Chains A and B, each alone.
Chain A
Amino acid sequence: MPDKKHLKLEDLLGNDHEPPAQSDDPLQQEMAAAVQRMITGAGTETWDAADKALLWENIVTELVPKPSVYRYLFPKIAAAAVVLLTVAAWLFWPRPAHPLVQFARGQHIDSVTDTRLILGQQSAVTLKGKNASLVYGGKGVTINADSTLASAAPYNTLLVPYGRRARLQLEDGTIVQLNAGSRLVYPAVFRDKRREVYLEGEAFFEVAPNAASPFFVYASGIETEVLGTSFNISAYPDDKQQSLVLASGSVRTQLASQRIFGKHSRQLKPGEMATVNMENENLQVSTVNITTYTAWKDGRLLFYSVPLKDILKKLTRYYNIQLELSSAQPGLETCSGDLDLEENLENVLDVICATNSLRYERQGQRIILKEKN
């Protein structure tokens, strides 16, 4: 520390933990005193005592124990959070598929040549004939109008192979006509509030009205809520497109990937077709000629501007024989017509070949359509 004699004004400021230094130089000493006096003399306004007391009166009213804002709000916030979480969970939680859908998806299907009824997981009944008929009633299921079978299993499955069709009357009176290459999973008896069936392939439904128990059809790409009505669903797993054509009544349909019936669901009017493109999961609705899509159940195939390869695919299912175009033919040219499927395949193929300048050749289990030379 410098000599006390030479301590300057700034040296007299001192430190936190030691008293300020005192200079021996009277000039510095007194200047320090003068500076300090002037500093402490400034900013010493007085606050009117009455005004100060008045402010206290304001303050004291707020110094009362009040329930903490957070404590008061906590139950509400907690409740709101729970509601939000529940809604979010319900919306976004990967929900397990419906038991019936789960059952249907887990089913192992052997390829069959005859229409087959599977009761539960194991026991299967083979149904002879091209057009099998099943009627469910109180006692069980009546097959082809003669033998009656008790159906204890919760889920029954009807398998209709290529070349066969079936007519099924469910326990509630709903009539389902299944086209070739289809599978329908349904309960023997509808016990739930919702009547639910799972479809793979094509079927025409005439749903028995029952307002208390809505009818749902699940397919891999399309889900339909039915409000007492008749309609055709085509949902073959090997088709790029699945569709529903409404013949009468009203249905609400949506993508199977959609969680809930929301903005992506569409209510259809008779004569409208909902199409789901399986590649981009797009649901579109258009107006169509109903008969074109339902004629198969009457043994006819109606088509209007349909690519040839799509017609051959349908015929392949219907007659259970592989129909192919020779590689030179992309099969994209469209044709229109009305084929009677009760005719034998040769007659049908004659018609197709005549209108498309084609000829056909049998090659073992396949028939190849070729260009006429």
Chain B
Amino acid sequence: MKDRLTAEDSILWNNVILGDQQAYRELYDIYADMLFRYGLRYVKDTSTIKDCIQDLFTSLYHHRHNLARNVNIRFYLLRSFRRKIHQVVKKNAAVLHTASPEEYFSIVYEPDAEQLQIAAEQQQEMLRLLARELNELPARQKEVLFLKFNCSLSYEEVAGIMKISVPTCRTLAYRAFRQLRSNMEKAPLLPLMFLLTAWLSRQHYKF
């Protein structure tokens, strides 16, 4: 993967370090939605998420003199944000004596409504099966997939955010996909895969 720290990002981040308010505005416009969605994976209460976002941006500003240069902004923001969210989750969970904050990562996979509409009945079944299998995955695997695909991060960055080693991170993703594949192949609907394939390839080339 190429170096994703673009010149544009670099300038933006330098201005953030300099304390330029416009840079913070830009940073917020670009990344706040992603943080908001990531926050929803852990807490349903949006005001808590917004508190964390506000906290993140203000502490970023007040500690700007200590910020590292040449960082992947997305990575940096997600990592700091996850820490703050985890603190909140931990605080809420302390009363319930439950597992570590990571276990709270939740995401619901479902077939796209539009896809379902145009798909044949068997294909619809295939998509539902796929969604069900994805939803069965453990929370940690889901988080790796989310950070990797939804937030476009490298394994190295995902590992850095989740505080795990890079091989562990890669194994989590690999295991998720292998589980998906083997369960899909075991399904009685396997013959229909070819139909699905034909349909998906049509869809695929449209994009």
Binding site for B on A (CB under 8 A): 8-10, 12-13, 15-19, 26-31, 33-47, 51-52, 55-56, 58-60, 62-63, 65
Cα separation A35 to B181 with both chains bound (whole Å): 10
Cα separation A51 to B50 with both chains bound (whole Å): 10
Chain B 1-34 interface 0/1 with A at a Cβ cutoff of 8 Å (1 = within): 1000000000000000001010011001000110
The residues of A that contact B127 with a CB separation of less than 8 Å are 34, 38
Cα separation A17 to B33 with both chains bound (whole Å): 27
Give 29 CB contacts A-B under 8 Å: A8-B178, A8-B181, A10-B174, A10-B177, A10-B181, A12-B177, A13-B174, A13-B177, A17-B1, A18-B1, A26-B201, A35-B134, A37-B112, A38-B127, A38-B131, A39-B145, A39-B150, A43-B37, A43-B40, A43-B107, A43-B150, A45-B40, A47-B36, A55-B32, A59-B54, A59-B57, A60-B24, A62-B58, A62-B61
Cα separation A52 to B29 with both chains bound (whole Å): 9
Minimal beta-carbon separation of B74 from chain A (angstroms):
15
The residues of B that contact A42 with a CB separation of less than 8 Å are 107-110, 134, 146, 150
Contact: A52 with B32, CB < 8 Å?
yes
Contact: A27 with B193, CB < 8 Å?
yes
Minimal beta-carbon separation of A17 from chain B (angstroms):
6
Contact: A31 with B109, CB < 8 Å?
no
Q: Quick one: given A13-B174, A55-B54, are A30 and B196 in contact (CB under 8 Å)? A: yes
The residues of B that contact A8 with a CB separation of less than 8 Å are 178, 181
B69 in the interface, Cβ–Cβ < 8 Å? no
Cα separation A38 to B50 with both chains bound (whole Å): 27
Count the B residues whose beta carbon is within 8 Å of the partner chain — how many?
53
Partner of B149 from the list A9, A17, A36, A60 (CB cut-off 8 Å) is A36
Contact: A63 with B57, CB < 8 Å?
yes
B125 in the interface, Cβ–Cβ < 8 Å? no
The residues of A that contact B149 with a CB separation of less than 8 Å are 36, 39-40
Cα separation A30 to B130 with both chains bound (whole Å): 13
Contact: B177 with A9, CB < 8 Å?
yes
Give the nearest-CB partner of A25 in chain B: B197
Give the nearest-CB partner of B40 in chain A: A45
B41 in the interface, Cβ–Cβ < 8 Å? yes
Partner of B197 from the list A13, A30, A38, A43 (CB cut-off 8 Å) is A30
B97 in the interface, Cβ–Cβ < 8 Å? no
